[in-house]
Amino acid sequence: MAAPVDVHAEVLANTRLSADYNVLVLAAPAIAGTARAGQFVMIRTADGTDPLLRRPFSVFEVLRRADATPYAISILCKRVGVGTSRLFEAAAGDRLDCLGPLGKPFTTVGPPSEAWMVAGGVGLAPFATLADELRSAGTRIRLFYGGRSHTDLFYLEWFESRGVALELATEDGSRGSHGRVTVPLERALSAQPASAGLTLYACGPEPMLKAVADLARRYGRPSQLSTERIMGCGMGGCYSCVVRVRDDEGRAHFVRSCLNGPVFNGDDVVWE
Amino acid sequence: MKADLSVRIGSLVLKNPIIPASGCFGYGLEYAEVVDLASLGAIAVKGLFLTEREGHPPPRIVETPSGMLNAIGLQGIGVHRFVREKMPELRRLGAVVIVNICGSAISEYVELARILSDVEGVAALELNISCPNIKEGGIQFGCDLASTAAVVSAVRKVTRLPVIPKLTPNVTSVSSFAKAAEEAGADAVSLVNTFLAMAIDVETRRPRLSNVMGGLSGPAIRPIAVRMVYDCARAVRIPVIGMGGITSARDALEFMIAGATAVQVGTACFVDPFIWTKLLAGIEDYLERHGIERVADVVGTLQTDRA
Ligand SMILES: Cc1cc2nc3c(=O)[nH]c(=O)nc-3n(C[C@H](O)[C@H](O)[C@H](O)COP(=O)(O)OP(=O)(O)OC[C@H]3O[C@@H](n4cnc5c(N)ncnc54)[C@H](O)[C@@H]3O)c2cc1C
Ligand SMILES: Cc1cc2nc3c(=O)[nH]c(=O)nc-3n(C[C@H](O)[C@H](O)[C@H](O)COP(=O)(O)O)c2cc1C
Ligand code: FES
């Protein structure tokens, strides 16, 4: 994997998608050129020391020029606190320190003949690059995408235009099936013949990841989960970001998700 | 002419005074892709016990104004795996390795010192008698003068490596601990470790760390750390290694003027893993601007008389 670089990246655009979501495009050719789906960047949201630490964000899209050279990345950002609120206010022309690409990407070797991506809310973030990677490998892709309401579902045309089949779910029933995204997922799994080369990829809140891992196991499918932890450094220095995983001998250990993840094999994760 | 950045810690000569702080730089190898480890004065690796340790459950860190609290709980691979799995690569990369050791009894520090003394490439031992996050992390040694002296002299007897007890700021008079360490045979002291601290989520009325309390580090602690380094440097003749909230060359020089022979940088490298070249360039620039040939000549040059 390419060594991470720290880019003083110009904000090319900041598009507000809703009251709580925005997409930030950052000029970062050195990161865009090597980033793989599932990897993340650490962004410094303030110049001073408050907030002090960087914040982790998945690489949402890799943007390319007409001749296909990558020149920028985008991040999909959900406003939750002080750092993400600053990113909401960033204007085109501002510069942000952006360290990456970091972490282990999704495994797309094989590649699977079919990929089902399961996203909860901002958990959509790693799946645009993953869809691009898998599409060029000829994989058939379905996106199971859940949110609280239809206003929490973004980029649907983007995925449709790339031939991704959409299965939507909202907790208020305003779009797609009513309830959690794991409901249509389970329906689809039970309808799928067991022999097909299908891999599940999931990113979202922890209860969703656990449910996807359980379903994957029950239906005998491999799953890869992108986990979310509070990260101090993103480089393996601080040991803040640990996830409990089982090793080859079945023993559980805390491992750093910024180095050994954020993507883990669903069977390996031990839920707290 | 390029300034001479070398400094001396006991028998150890460092090519420059900049050292990543223990617990903030993994075992060094995590950063080998982004920094030439041989370009640093030394690296202080993550605290090691005799055996592997699992650490505390997350959340392990929380941010506070200009600082952070951590309660990692000294997760670590243990000394044997460190020697087997990490040291060969650290040697190959030319790192000057200060091993930070922790124990729950004096005999454990002694055993660790014995094991590490025979390992090629280990340059010094930093005795962590100051981790506030775990009961057995040596803090009981670091908060009692007689115990501090006892750990230092016991380790002193079994190793030729420089012995550097790392002092806790969670005591009333740090300088008396520095003195006790000096008298017991320490080659240097390092300070400060983190300040025992806590943060509460007022909505849920719950502590923000799984361990309830943690250690405060980062720029928020710098002025207190500078004062403690100043006090200790005046109290002892052995070198003092200073740290606490350093984020720039200016901050590092502040510690050196207060009396630190070398400095460690922890939290700031989470924010900027490339900080090291900026620190070194900033120090060189300062020396040139002030016409100082050797960085060692900056140490302890605080002017307190009124002009
Ligand atoms: C590998 C990885 C990839 C991520 N990708 C994205 C992404 O693409 N888009 C996106 O919007 N977010 C992403 N996140 C989450 C994002 O990093 C956090 O939302 C952000 O750090 C919060 O910063 P803040 O300053 O706004 O919140 P703070 O003001 O620091 O905290 C506000 C609240 O959010 C909680 N919080 C803080 N950090 C996290 C965290 N990492 N996970 C869960 N809760 C947290 C705090 O405990 C607090 O309750 C990712 C996280 C990880 C670990
Ligand atoms: C996440 C974290 C882990 C730490 N682990 C250790 C450790 O293992 N051993 C130790 O002696 N000090 C440890 N420390 C303390 C630092 O080495 C340093 O003394 C302290 O953070 C103050 O410096 P800073 O403000 O530059 O970070 C740790 C600090 C942090 C933030
Ligand atoms: S975020 Fe620091 S070790 Fe993972």
The long-range contacts involving A168-177, CB below 8 angstroms and separated by at least 24 positions, are A169/A144, A169/A145, A170/A146, A171/A146, A171/A147, A172/A148, A174/A149, A174/A150, A175/A149, A175/A150, A176/A145, A176/A146
CB contact under 8 A, A241 and B58: yes
Distance from the alpha carbon of residue B159 to the mean position of ligand 2, in angstroms: 25
Q: How confident is the model at residue A111 (pLDDT cuts 50, 70, 90)?
A: confident
Q: Which of A15-29, A96-110, A201-215 has the lowest mean pLDDT?
A: A96-110
Distance from the alpha carbon of residue B24 to the mean position of ligand 3, in angstroms: 9
Q: How confident is the model at residue A106 (pLDDT cuts 50, 70, 90)?
A: very high
**What is the distance between the alpha carbons of residues B215 and B195, in angstroms, rounded to a whole number?**
5
Nearest CA to ligand 2 atom 26: B266
3-state secondary structure A43-111: ECCCCCCCCCCCEEEECCEEEECCCCCEEEEEEEEECCCHHHHHHHHCCCCCEEEEEEEECECCCCCCC
CB A145 within 8 A of CB A124: yes
Q: Which is more confident, B87 or B132?
A: B87
Would residue B119 be called left, alpha or beta, if left means φ above 0 and alpha means ψ between -120 and 50 degrees? beta
Shortest CA gap A74–chain B (Å)? 21
Atom of ligand 3 nearest to the CA of A259: 4
Predicted local distance difference test score (pLDDT) of residue A108: 76
- A31, with CB counted inside 10 A (0-12, 13-18, 19+), is buried
Q: Which of A193-202, A220-229, A233-242 has the lowest mean pLDDT?
A: A193-202
A-B CB pairs within 8 A amount to 94
B196, B217, B276: residue to mutate for ligand 2 pocket, most atoms within 8 A of CB? B217
- pLDDT higher than threshold 70 for residue A195: no
**What is the distance between the alpha carbons of residues B222 and B245, in angstroms, rounded to a whole number?**
5
The whole-number average pLDDT for the span B174-199 is: 96
Q: How confident is the model at residue A136 (pLDDT cuts 50, 70, 90)?
A: confident
**What is the distance between the alpha carbons of residues A183 and A200, in angstroms, rounded to a whole number?**
15
Residues of B identified as active-site: 131
Closest CA to A243 of A199, A198, A200, A213: A213
- B82 DSSP assignment: I
CB contact under 8 A, B273 and A233: yes
**What is the distance between the alpha carbons of residues A218 and B57, in angstroms, rounded to a whole number?**
28
Residue of B nearest to A272 (CA): B57
Closest CA to B170 of B154, B194, B187, B188: B194
Give percent helix, percent strand, percent coil of chain B, each to the nearest 5: 35, 20, 40
Total residues found in chain A within this entry: 272
Q: Which of A58-62, A122-126, A133-137, B111-115 has the lowest mean pLDDT?
A: A133-137
Q: Is the shortest distance between the CB of A254 and ligand 3 below 6 Å? A: no
What's the pLDDT tens digit per position in B29-52? 999 999 999 999 999 999 999 999
Predicted local distance difference test score (pLDDT) of residue A75: 97
Shortest CA gap A63–chain B (Å)? 25
Residues from chain A contacting residue B218 (CB–CB below 8 Å): 49, 52
- pLDDT higher than threshold 70 for residue B114: yes
Smallest Cβ–Cβ distance between B219 and the set A4, A49, A241 belongs to A49
Predicted local distance difference test score (pLDDT) of residue B218: 98
Q: Is the shortest distance between the CB of A139 and ligand 1 below 6 Å? A: no
Q: Is the shortest distance between the CB of A31 and ligand 3 below 6 Å? A: no
- B79, with CB counted inside 10 A (0-12, 13-18, 19+), is buried
- pLDDT higher than threshold 80 for residue A221: yes
Q: Where are the alpha helices (DSSP H) in A192-265?
A: 206-218, 257-260
B78 at A interface, C-beta within 8 A: no
H helix or E strand, kind and range, residue B87: helix B87-92
Mean pLDDT of chain A: 94
- Tokens 């760390």 correspond to what residue? B209
Predicted local distance difference test score (pLDDT) of residue B307: 61
Q: Is the shortest distance between the CB of B133 and ligand 2 below 6 Å? A: no
ipTM: 0.93
